[in-house]
């Protein structure tokens, strides 16, 4: 099937050009994929109203909070790639300004998608040897370990966004 052929091609690319394989995996979760989760951030966020984005269900994070959270890490890692210093902290990853209008939500989504595209392009431009190097400090592990964590963390929260959106739609 077509999906099997694509998987084989990806595995070949992984051996030959890891940077392209990893960037494609990031694009899949953020921008255009449907293979793993049958959706992606771009699809979910562009089809979410600002009212849905801020809607709270019990003690779950809102879609807006989760969007900010993932974007916080994307921005922080992009800065670290550029300046060689990691200046983000988990304790601030949910500290976001309130979303009070469609314009506020659109700004957050636009910023997220811009950073997601930039992050993917940045990874695609990495030298192949960089993935095995320590990320900023040895205590953080390698670049590869951190980038794989972004993929896993992003899928985790994409799943939450999808479920929260379903709960919101059921309540409307």
| Structure confidence at residue 172 (pLDDT) | 79
* Count of CA atoms in the C-beta half-sphere (13 A) of 142: 9
| Structure confidence at residue 12 (pLDDT) | 57
Contact by Cβ (8 Å): 92, 118: no
Query: Is it the case that residue 146 has pLDDT exceeding 70?
Result: yes
Contact by Cβ (8 Å): 96, 65: yes
Residues 75-88: tens digit of each pLDDT: 999 999 999 999 99
| Structure confidence at residue 16 (pLDDT) | 53
Query: Is it the case that residue 142 has pLDDT exceeding 60?
Result: yes
Quick count: other Cβ atoms within 10 Å of Cβ 7?
A: 12
Residues with Cβ < 8 Å from 164, sequence gap 6 or more? 55, 57, 60, 61, 62, 63, 66
Residues with Cβ < 8 Å from 122, sequence gap 6 or more? 78, 81
Rounded Cα gap, residues 127 and 114, in angstroms: 22
Residues 10-55: tens digit of each pLDDT: 665 545 589 999 999 999 999 999 989 899 999 999 999 999 999 9
């Amino acid at each position: 099937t077509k999906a099997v052929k694509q998987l084989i091609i990806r595995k070949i690319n992984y051996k030959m050009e890891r940077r392209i394989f990893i960037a494609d995996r990031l694009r899949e979760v953020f921008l255009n994929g449907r293979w793993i989760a049958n959706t992606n951030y771009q699809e979910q966020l562009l089809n979410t109203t600002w009212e849905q984005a801020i809607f709270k269900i019990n003690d779950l994070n809102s879609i807006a909070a989760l969007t900010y959270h993932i974007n916080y890490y994307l921005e922080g890692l992009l800065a670290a790639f550029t300046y060689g210093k990691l200046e983000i902290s988990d304790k601030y990853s949910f500290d976001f300004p309130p979303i009070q209008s469609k314009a506020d939500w659109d700004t957050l989504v636009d910023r997220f998608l811009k950073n997601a595209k930039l992050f993917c392009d940045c990874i695609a431009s990495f030298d192949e040897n960089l993935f095995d190097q320590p990320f900023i400090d040895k205590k953080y592990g390698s670049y590869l370990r951190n980038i794989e964590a972004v993929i896993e963390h992003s899928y985790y929260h994409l799943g939450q966004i999808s479920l929260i959106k379903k709960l919101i739609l059921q309540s409307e």
